[in-house]
Amino acid sequence: MTTALSAQRLPFDVERVRRDFPGLDQTVHGKPLVYLDNGATAQVPQCVLDAMQGFHRDYRANVHRGIHQLSATATAAYDAVRGKVARYLNAASESEIVFTRGTTESINLVASTFGRANLGPGDEVVVSQMEHHSNIVPWQILCEEKGARLRVIPMNERGELDMEHFASLLNERTRLVSVVHTSNALGTINPVRQILDLSHARGIPVLLDGAQAVPHGPVDLQALDCDFFAFSAHKLFGPTGVGVLYGKRALLDEMPPYQGGGDMIESVSFAGTTYAEPPHKFEAGTPNIGGVIGLGAAIDYLEELDWSGAVAHEADLLQYATEKLSEIAGLRLVGTAVNKVAVLSFVMDCAHPHDIAAILDQEGIAVRTGHHCAEPVMDFFGISGTARASLSFYNTREDVDRLYSGLQTVVSLFG
């Protein structure tokens, strides 16, 4: 993954980091919580809670439309986050950062604006077999509307994309490549550099679904040179209901608006309406002000984090957890890519994923089960779902040991 690490911060110390996340310090069913559902939603540091409470308690007001003090304070705090996100991800300009409700809305925004404007009958959009539904269904809706075609990059048994097949899919009808940077169901980190280079060589823009990439390290958008990038704040140690769409300014300039309403216009009359410049053109209505401010606090926190230490810690956890889980009789890991993040999807011969999760829950261990909104992945492996432990930098080897012994309990009960 391309990272934009800055210098001078405290060396990574997992116990110190854990103390920043109050949600980790609780018991569930009488046992200390082991939170291994970070891929779904991560815990938040205290500074995010403080920032959001500060908005609601001290300067709650609408943005961009009041001259009174509270509105001015809220507007300054809200607008500052755009710059923080742009700097953290090394976007060329903060006008390339659009606030949305999450990854899902970011992708839908691109489908409804860029997609509607650029696709016609017979045109093609390329996705991969390991997409989250939010990077499949918006394109299916668009393709149906336009008489266009969705093409799919296949993957192998380890959960890695077939890049030769990908290259063969690109042609003069391809209008967009939209792929997941890092898979939520498998943990695979896709070869995004190669995907971008092959696509750009043919002048085809690329959207990266970065929902599972950014929680494992910052990306450098200018170095990547992707055209669109989407992620959700709640997976990035921030609040729910907020997300980001990054789009290259030239593309955002060309795209029609997404929704009509307040704040996205330059002027309105019954003779016609002119639109505001990006990013405001894509942000109709009162935004999630407190949520955006919370995202800003999460970015502040992550800027202070020793990311190289955190990445090394996660790599150690992945290796340790892979070894431990491989010792369990009848357990099969689903997603064994060479290049992956600390996500362990698995099935067990003796128990259904829901039973696994129910037993683990009784032990205070939170994992996710089901198809993880990636049904084509499950179809490929011939299963209905998996249990998934998705780890973050605040997890520990002790968490993995607790998971291991919880799974031994599953074996002893069902095996």
Ligand X SMILES: Cc1ncc(COP(=O)(O)O)c(C=O)c1O
Q: Are 86 and 299 in contact (CB under 8 A)?
A: no
Q: Which amino acid is at 203?
A: G
CA 366, CA 376: separation in Å to the nearest integer? 24
Q: By CB under 6 A, which span of 146-154, 209-217, 304-312, 314-322 interacts with ligand X?
A: 209-217
Looking at 134, 336, 390, 395, which residue binds ligand X (CB under 6 A)? 134
Q: Are 405 and 351 in contact (CB under 8 A)?
A: no
CB of 138 to ligand X, least distance (A): 11
Looking at 24, 109, 180, 400, which residue binds ligand X (CB under 6 A)? 180
Q: Does 178 bind ligand X (CB under 6 A)?
A: no
Q: Are 5 and 307 in contact (CB under 8 A)?
A: yes
Hey, which residues does 370 pair with through a beta bridge?
386
* Interface with ligand X: number of residues (CB under 6 A): 11
For the chain, give the number of residues: 415
Residues 86-105 vs ligand X: string with x where CB under 6 A? Answer: ----------------xxx-
Among candidate residues 302, 279, 340, 305, the one with its CA nearest the CA of residue 78: 279
CB of 32 to ligand X, least distance (A): 26
Q: Are 212 and 180 in contact (CB under 8 A)?
A: yes
Q: By CB under 6 A, which span of 207-215, 269-277, 278-286, 389-397 interacts with ligand X?
A: 207-215
**Which tokens in the block code for residue 203?**
């002048």
Q: Are 199 and 226 in contact (CB under 8 A)?
A: no
Q: Are 234 and 204 in contact (CB under 8 A)?
A: no
Pick 104 or 113: Cβ nearer ligand X: 104
CB of 135 to ligand X, least distance (A): 6
Looking at 108, 128, 232, 390, which residue binds ligand X (CB under 6 A)? 232
Is 373 one of the catalytic residues? Answer: yes
**Which tokens in the block code for residue 313?**
């810690």
Hey, which residues does 369 pair with through a beta bridge?
387
Looking at 43, 113, 178, 184, which residue binds ligand X (CB under 6 A)? 184
Pick 75 or 392: Cβ nearer ligand X: 392
CB of 311 to ligand X, least distance (A): 19
The footprint of ligand X (CB under 6 A) covers 102-104, 132, 134, 180, 184, 209, 211-212, 232
Supply the residues annotated as catalytic: 373
